Amino acid sequence: MDIPRTGLADFGTTGIEQLNDAGCLVVTGVATKDQRLALQAELADAMKRTPVETSDDAGAFYPGHTRRVISLVTLSETAREFVMHSMVKTACDHFLLPNCSPGGRYQLHVSAAVQIGPGARKQVLHREEDTFPFFAVPRPNLVLATMWAVSDFTAANGGTRLVPGSHRWSADRRAEPREVRAAEMAAGSVLFWLGGTLHGGGANTTDEWRYGVILTYSLGWLRQEENQSLAVPPELAQTLSPELLDMIGNTPNGALGFHAAGGLASADIENTAQSLVDSNG
Ligand SMILES: O=C(O)CCC(=O)C(=O)O
Ligand SMILES: [Fe+2]
């Protein structure tokens, strides 16, 4: 099975079906050149300060010759636009919302700019949902992942490898090499995959760096992989839209996530507890 492709116009209809069937999908022509340049400029300092991974033992999750910058909501206004893109909302509403608590939300799970440099080996195939081993494979949809191509992605420069169809496999099935595909896509495209789809970063045999932004989303009743409450400082949070604050989990989600940081603990607790009354009353 190949990685299906679509354009933005068909994403909400046939695209969702393709993603459901294959567990992965490339959507072309999403981010503009201006957005890619702005994102790179916004992250340039952090990129410079972040060391390239040097250790490269074969068992490590992050291969050598790669670089990851996290906390993208704090570092980049353009990343915030990507996080809240309407196409992502369409996909999360379809794949995640049905498994959220009644009246609850999904949330941003991980944000990282991932650069794969010349000489990097391939990453081990994994499922984003493997952090929740409580559920047996194939798991219900818990996580949805996106990779925004900031540079072109090719099979040779580290384009993400995926195993289409593997979101429906049982835990003991291993991918044969012939079942693995590289996501080849022009800069500005977005690769989607379900949290149950086997995938990993590719090896880079070229002399250029592959640059992608990975943004993943999870059910709001799960612990976020990246702790957004600490990643986004309160002074910045005050300036963000209510929708983005909801997305990073800064505001209570049903009965979960209340706090006294704004001095409004009792009101928050009453509001959040109401969802428990609603679901039992
Ligand atoms: O860099 C990539 O292509 C994939 C990265 C990935 O799967 C991860 O970090 O979980
Ligand atoms: Fe991954």
Residue 183: CATH number of its domain = 2.60.120.620
Domain count, the chain: 1
In this prediction, residue 276 carries a pLDDT of 74
Pocket of ligand 1 (CB under 6 A): 114, 147, 160, 199-201, 212, 214
**Does the residue 178 lie in any domain?**
yes
Q: Which ligand is nearest to the CA of 66?
A: 1
User: Over 60: is that where the pLDDT of 264 sits?
Assistant: no
The pLDDT of residue 265: 58
The Å distance, Cα 16 to ligand 2 centre, comes to 20
Q: Could you read off the pLDDT of 167-212 as tens digits, one per residue?
A: 999 999 999 999 999 999 999 999 999 999 999 999 999 999 999 9
pLDDT tens digit sequence for 27-68: 999 999 999 999 999 999 999 999 998 888 888 899 999 999
| Domain-embedded: residue 35 | yes
DSSP 121: P
Rg, the chain, Cα only: 19
For residue 179, the SS3 value is helix
On whether residue 60 sits in a domain, the answer given is: yes
Q: Can you tell me the mean pLDDT for 210-221? A: 98
270 assigned to some structural domain: no
Bridging pattern class, strands 161-162 and 181-182: antiparallel
pLDDT over 80 (residue 269): no
185 found inside a domain: yes
241 in a structural domain: no
The verdict on residue 76 lying in a domain is yes
pLDDT in tens, 221-235: 999 999 999 999 999
Residue 247 pLDDT class (50, 70, 90 cuts) = very high
CA 240 to centroid of ligand 1, rounded, Å: 27
pTM of the model: 0.96
Rounded percentage of the chain residues whose pLDDT exceeds 90: 87
Distance CA 38, CA 271 (A): 39
Structure confidence at residue 233 (pLDDT): 95
**Which residue from 231, 260, 225, 215 is spatially nearest to 30, judged by alpha carbons?**
215
- Ligand 1, pocket-test mutation among 69, 114, 161, most atoms within 8 A of CB: 114
Q: Which domain holds residue 27?
A: 5-232
CA of 48 to the centre of ligand 1 (A): 20
In a domain, 11, yes or no: yes
Residue nearest to atom 4 of ligand 1 (CA): 201
Give the helix/strand (H/E) hosting 181.
strand 181-182
How far does the centroid of ligand 1 lie from the alpha carbon of residue 160, in Å?
Answer: 7
13 burial type by CB count under 10 A (0-12 exposed, 13-18 middle, 19+ buried): exposed
What count of Cα atoms within 13 Å lies in the side-chain half-sphere of residue 24?
Answer: 25
